[in-house]
Amino acid sequence: MSSEWYTASAPGKFVVLGEHSVVYGKPAVVLATDRRITCSVRRSKRNTINGDLVDLSRQPHFTYLTRDVGYNMDFLTTSEVPSGSGMGSSAALSAALALAIRSERGECPTEKMLVDEAYGAELYAQGNGSPMDASACVHGGGIAVNVPSEKKELWTISRGERTWRVTDVDVPDLSFVIGNTGIKAPTGPQVEKIRRYKMKNGFASEIIDEMGDVTLEGFDALKKKDKEKLGRLMTNDHKLLSILGVSCNELNKLVNASLPYSYGAKLTGSGGGGCMVALTDKPEKVAEVISSRGGIPYIIKSGSEGARMETSPAMGTPMEIPMGKGE
Ligand code: MEV
């Protein structure tokens, strides 16, 4: 039995505009970050994660991604992406794990195969959602979803009555700071909250439509490097997300503290806790005010490379493995 390690990594991401409304087929813009998750796998007599014996059926991402493997494995996972924070830890784990497992099996998967695997794992763990995070973490760089004017199509994924056309976008030369509230908030329950709200109340659908319009306008501003306009639309989007009930006091506090030094700011990811992002020319100043309000700032380099093979096994901070429903 070969016990060679196969190691892959994938970047985290942040959503510039369009989270939640993208679940309903509206547009979105996402950038990969310079924080990565690394996974190593090798054949083994038992299933272990980071040295601990595990029952893989209790680890949804691992259960899904090893569903046709047929032998046990050792897994090592390390992470620079805070978990449950809206920075794509679940999708980056799925992307890196899918690539490491497929490679161990002697396969050479395309990006589309990896997205199908990673999105499948996300749905299995989380229950509902779009292929946006999986696409961003597999492809890296920048992606747009359902922006009709964009021509560089990567893939189109349909589920039920929804279709997501994913395109590659040039990474804008803009500076973003992320602020982590430190409150872990899994994605699944936030997505479910909006689904229920939308079923009960036609007003929620109007807000979602408006978020789609704001995102399209914001995307145009991003392409034109119109920071004032993009920032204003990000702040508008935050207000719309707040109306849908997915912000919280801690996120609002960090958004409001960042605004005097930013073009705009909003929650990023599924909300309910997790992170906000500010578009700014003063990243150090914004990082300082985020810290002073109790948040953890990350000055992000956006547009990192997507899922890729690595030459040495995962070393560093072991990842906290998401157990189920969400990030
Ligand atoms: C979370 O990063 C993004 C959401 O839109 C969920 C999804 O698209 O699956 C909240």
Q: For residue 271, give the ligand 1 atom closest to its CA.
A: 10
Q: How far is the CA of 86 from the centre of ligand 1 (A)?
A: 8
Model confidence band, residue 42 (pLDDT cutoffs 50, 70, 90): very high
CATH of the domain at 147: 3.30.230.120
Report the distance separating Cα 78 and Cα 97, nearest Å.
11
Question: Over the stretch 254-291, which tens digit does the pLDDT of each residue have?
Answer: 999 999 999 999 999 999 999 999 999 999 999 999 99
Task: Note down the domain range covering 52.
Answer: 6-310
For ligand 1, atom 8, which residue shows the shortest CA distance? Answer: 130
Residue entry with tokens 């007599």:
45
pLDDT value of residue 211: 98
Answer yes or no: is pLDDT of 2 > 70: no
Averaged pLDDT, 277-306: 97
pLDDT digits (tens, 9 = 90+) for 175-221: 999 999 999 999 999 999 999 999 998 899 999 999 999 999 999 99
326: in domain: no
In a domain, 324, yes or no: no
Q: Is 82 in the pocket of ligand 1 (CB under 6 A)?
A: no
Is 8 near ligand 1, meaning CB less than 6 Å away? no
* pLDDT reported for residue 327: 44
How many C-beta neighbours within 10 Å does residue 131 have?
A: 26
Does 211 fall in a domain? yes
How far is ligand 1, taken at its centre, from the CA of residue 311, in Å? 31
pTM for the model stands at: 0.96
Reply yes or no on whether the pLDDT at 32 is more than 50.
Answer: yes
In this structure, of 16-25, 225-234, 318-327, the range with the lowest mean pLDDT score is 318-327
Asked if residue 75 has pLDDT above 70, the reply is yes
For residue 326, what pLDDT is reported?
Answer: 45
pLDDT digits (tens, 9 = 90+) for 124-181: 998 889 999 999 999 999 999 999 999 999 999 999 999 999 999 999 999 999 999 9
Q: How confident is the model at residue 320 (pLDDT cuts 50, 70, 90)?
A: confident
Q: Residue 323: inside a domain, yes or no?
A: no
The ligand 1 atom nearest the CA atom of 269? 2
Does ligand 1 have an atom closer than 6 angstroms to the CB of 204? no
pLDDT class for 325, splitting at 50, 70, 90? very low
Chain position carrying tokens 């990082």: 287
Q: Cα separations (Å) of 41 from 65, 103, 109, 158, 323? A: 12, 9, 16, 30, 19
Residue 317 has pLDDT above 80, yes or no: no
Whether 132 lines ligand 1, by a CB cut-off of 6 Å, is yes
Give backbone dihedrals phi and psi of 276, rounded to 5 degrees, phi first. -120, 165
Per-residue pLDDT band for 231 (boundaries 50, 70, 90) equals very high
C-alpha to C-alpha distance for 77 and 100, rounded to whole angstroms: 11
Distance 124 CA to ligand 1 centre (A): 14
Inside any domain, residue 139: yes
| 15 CA: nearest ligand 1 atom | 2
pLDDT band for position 293 (cuts 50, 70, 90):
very high
Number of domains in the chain: 1
Q: Is 188 in the pocket of ligand 1 (CB under 6 A)?
A: no
Q: What pLDDT does residue 319 have?
A: 79
The better pLDDT of the pair 163, 3 is held by 163
Atom of ligand 1 minimally distant from the CA of 191: 10
Dist. CA 323 → ligand 1 center (Å): 18
pLDDT value, residue 51: 94
Could you tell me which residues are beta bridge partners of residue 37?
10, 79
Q: With respect to residue 321, please indicate whether it lies within any of the assigned structural domains.
A: no
Judge whether residue 104 has pLDDT over 50. Answer: yes
Pocket-testing residue among 22, 87, 143, ligand 1, by greatest number of atoms within 8 A of Cβ:
22
Residue 130 lies in a domain: yes
Q: Is 133 in the pocket of ligand 1 (CB under 6 A)?
A: yes
Residues 300 and 176 sit within 8 Å (Cβ to Cβ): yes
* Nearest alpha carbon, ligand 1 atom 9: 129
Tell whether 152 is covered by a domain: yes
Query: What's the whole-number average pLDDT of the chain?
Result: 95
